[in-house]
């Protein structure tokens, strides 16, 4: 039985989109760049601003969470606060939804923007109106779309159709180094029956997405060495091993003729592959998104879809090398050479499995007999593979159908999002809905980041519906109020 107030709440949301955009613009004007200590004050200022907004909307215990002194992760210099708030007025028979988003931003240094990155600017584009600002879609509009939906329910229905907790993190863009510490220090703030993690992309501005898999990340140092000193190439060339050449040969050993990783390929389920044909990730879309030059082609598809290559297969990238640099030429065989390689792991693959195959592949019969060491670097991330089935996902399908006109496509992400892997590990038994407001034109983390305002509108409407659909679908589920 739909809530009597739902049509009114939807109508209000439709009529007040301009107010929602203005509210979003207010948040975007604060340069809350979490990686830069010069902006520490801005992160806290924005967090306080969000806290005050939640309090005004009617959320109880709207507060900033700060970690106890001395409780930082070993790789963290400091901790930015999380904003937490809750509304538990729906009572113990109704489920509790936790909504996660992040308020911090990527830096803009060195980027060339058409408009000032912290001054939101609206522009018409062929696919609709967009709002340009750092963080517009990653991730400010993601959680602001929830604030707007929640306020509409509270103002025009006097209540929410379920209990809601919010966590707005301040460190996602630096890899959520302290998020697990926050989970340990404030377990009540994370207690829920279903979680909506809102920081991901939609396949297009007309087609919503729910993310159900991520690739993991493994970074390694590979070093080839042969001597304790550089030696004259005229005297020793052709006689002693050259670690620089050996390193290049080792990297080449890892890839096939297309330059793709040849070790530990992941099996792709035939049914998944057939469904992935629906993903609007055609060659033209990829060409444009990847800024490919005229005359350069995409890699051959080899009977897999682009989505399968991007989301379901491991890949390798050379991050840096100590190969001799221009300006430092000398006629010498260098004593050692190192490369930092990054491996994206297919959903389900572990860092341990990749490392084992890698060691075997690189250390067995090394080129010209150099000594090879392989060391894992800190900062890896688990892959994530999720079965998005059950009443919570049926509820999401209904909510999106109402707001977008179609059910969300189940999509993957080729990247690694540490907080998702963390939520998956800590709360994997709960339904985890990963949504967001990004689209292929968003350019998150790059210049001229933007939000499609039609997507923002549909996201707010989907949230209005999702609150009630989840409230109905999970009533009777254990409510951890």
The residues that touch Zn ion, with contacts defined as CB under 5 A, are 138-139, 199
Concatenating the DSSP letter of every residue in 350-382 gives: -HHHHHHHHHHHHHSS-GGG-EEEEEEPS--B-
Q: How far is the CB of 452 from Zn ion (least distance, A)?
A: 16
Q: Strand ranges (DSSP E) for 17-58?
A: none
Q: What span, in angstroms and rounded, lies between the C-alpha atoms of 392 and 303?
A: 34
Q: How far is the CB of 23 from Zn ion (least distance, A)?
A: 19
Is the CB of 120 or the CB of 243 nearer to Zn ion?
120
Is the CB of 199 or the CB of 468 nearer to Zn ion?
199
Q: How far is the CB of 170 from Zn ion (least distance, A)?
A: 12
Is the CB of 153 or the CB of 419 nearer to Zn ion?
419
Is the CB of 147 or the CB of 308 nearer to Zn ion?
147
Is the CB of 198 or the CB of 225 nearer to Zn ion?
198
Give 254-259's long-range contacts (Cβ < 8 A, gap of 24+). Answer: 254/316, 254/341, 254/358, 254/361, 254/362, 255/316, 258/299, 258/300, 258/302, 259/299
DSSP secondary structure code for residue 190 in this structure: G
Is the CB of 138 or the CB of 242 nearer to Zn ion?
138
Q: What span, in angstroms and rounded, lies between the C-alpha atoms of 43 and 37?
A: 10
Length of the chain: 481
Q: How far is the CB of 96 from Zn ion (least distance, A)?
A: 24
Is the CB of 181 or the CB of 445 nearer to Zn ion?
445
Q: How far is the CB of 453 from Zn ion (least distance, A)?
A: 19
* Residue among 238, 226, 220, 218 at smallest CA distance from 372: 226
Q: How far is the CB of 310 from Zn ion (least distance, A)?
A: 18
Is the CB of 246 or the CB of 438 nearer to Zn ion?
438
Q: How far is the CB of 141 from Zn ion (least distance, A)?
A: 11
Please provide the distance, in angstroms rounded to a whole number, between the alpha carbons at the two ends of the chain: 23
Is the CB of 53 or the CB of 139 nearer to Zn ion?
139
* Residue among 188, 180, 193, 210 at smallest CA distance from 431: 193
Concatenating the DSSP letter of every residue in 237-288 gives: TTTS--HHHHHHHHHHHTB-TTS-B-SSPPP--HHHHHHGGGS---HHHHHH
Q: What span, in angstroms and rounded, lies between the C-alpha atoms of 211 and 86?
A: 25
Q: Give 3-state DSSP helix, strand, coil % of the chain, rounded to 5.
A: 35, 20, 40
What residue has token string 């075997």?
360
3-state secondary structure of 201: strand
Is the CB of 139 or the CB of 468 nearer to Zn ion?
139
Q: What span, in angstroms and rounded, lies between the C-alpha atoms of 106 and 175?
A: 11
User: Which residues make beta-bridge pairs with 223?
Assistant: 338, 373
Tokens of 370: 């150099």
Q: How far is the CB of 13 from Zn ion (least distance, A)?
A: 24
Is the CB of 53 or the CB of 138 nearer to Zn ion?
138
Element (H, E) at 131: strand 128-132
Calculate ∠ Cα 29-35-36, nearest 5°.
Answer: 70
Q: How far is the CB of 349 from Zn ion (least distance, A)?
A: 23
Q: How far is the CB of 178 from Zn ion (least distance, A)?
A: 16
Is the CB of 53 or the CB of 199 nearer to Zn ion?
199
In this structure, are strands 409-413 and 209-214 parallel, antiparallel, or unpaired?
Answer: parallel
Q: What span, in angstroms and rounded, lies between the C-alpha atoms of 250 and 138?
A: 38
Q: How far is the CB of 200 from Zn ion (least distance, A)?
A: 8
Q: How far is the CB of 183 from Zn ion (least distance, A)?
A: 18
């Amino acid at each position: 039985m739909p809530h009597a107030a739902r049509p009114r709440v939807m109508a209000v949301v439709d009529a007040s989109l301009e107010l929602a955009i203005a509210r979003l613009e207010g948040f975007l004007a604060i340069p809350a760049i979490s990686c830069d200590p010069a902006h520490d004050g801005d992160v806290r200022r924005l967090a306080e601003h969000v806290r005050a907004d939640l309090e005004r909307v009617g959320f109880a215990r709207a507060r900033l969470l700060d970690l106890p002194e001395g409780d930082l992760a070993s790789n963290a210099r400091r901790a930015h606060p999380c904003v937490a708030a809750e509304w538990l007025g729906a009572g113990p028979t109704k489920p509790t939804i936790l909504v996660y988003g992040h308020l911090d931003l990527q830096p803009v240094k060195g980027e060339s923007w058409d408009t000032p990155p912290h001054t939101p600017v609206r522009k018409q584009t062929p696919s609709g109106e967009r709002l340009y600002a750092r963080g517009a879609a990653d991730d400010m509009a993601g959680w602001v779309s929830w604030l707007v939906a929640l306020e509409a329910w509270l103002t025009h229905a006097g209540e929410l159709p379920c209990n809601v907790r919010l966590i707005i993190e301040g460190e996602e863009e630096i890899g959520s180094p302290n998020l697990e510490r926050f989970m340990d220090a404030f377990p009540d703030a994370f207690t829920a029956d279903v979680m909506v993690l809102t920081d991901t992309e939609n396949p297009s501005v007309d087609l919503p997405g729910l993310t159900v898999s991520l690739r993991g990340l493994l970074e390694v140092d590979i070093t080839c060495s042969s001597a304790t000193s550089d030696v004259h190439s005229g005297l020793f060339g052709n006689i002693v091993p050259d670690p620089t050449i050996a390193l290049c040969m080792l990297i080449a050993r890892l890839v096939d003729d297309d330059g793709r990783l040849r070790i530990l390929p992941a099996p792709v389920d035939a049914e998944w592959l057939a469904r992935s044909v629906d993903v609007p990730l055609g060659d033209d879309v990829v060409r444009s998104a990847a800024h490919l030059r005229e005359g350069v082609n995409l890699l051959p598809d080899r009977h897999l879809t682009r989505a399968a290559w991007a989301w379901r297969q491991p890949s390798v990238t050379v991050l840096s090398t100590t190969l001799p640099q221009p300006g430092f030429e000398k006629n010498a065989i260098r004593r050692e050479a190192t490369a930092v390689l990054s491996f994206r792991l297919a959903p389900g693959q572990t860092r341990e499995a990749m490392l084992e195959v890698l060691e075997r592949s690189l250390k067995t019969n090394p080129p010209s007999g150099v000594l090879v060491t392989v060391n894992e670097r800190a900062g890896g991330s688990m892959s994530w593979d999720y079965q998005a089935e059950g009443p919570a996902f049926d509820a999401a399908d209904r909510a999106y159908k109402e707001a977008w006109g179609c059910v969300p496509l189940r999509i993957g992400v080729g990247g690694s999002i540490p907080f998702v892997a963390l939520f998956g590990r800590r709360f994997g038994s709960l339904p985890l809905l990963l949504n967001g407001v990004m689209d292929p034109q968003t350019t998150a983390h790059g210049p001229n980041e933007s939000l499609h305002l039609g997507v923002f509108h549909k996201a707010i409407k989907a949230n209005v519906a999702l609150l009630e659909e989840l409230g109905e679908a999970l009533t009777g589920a254990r409510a951890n109020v």
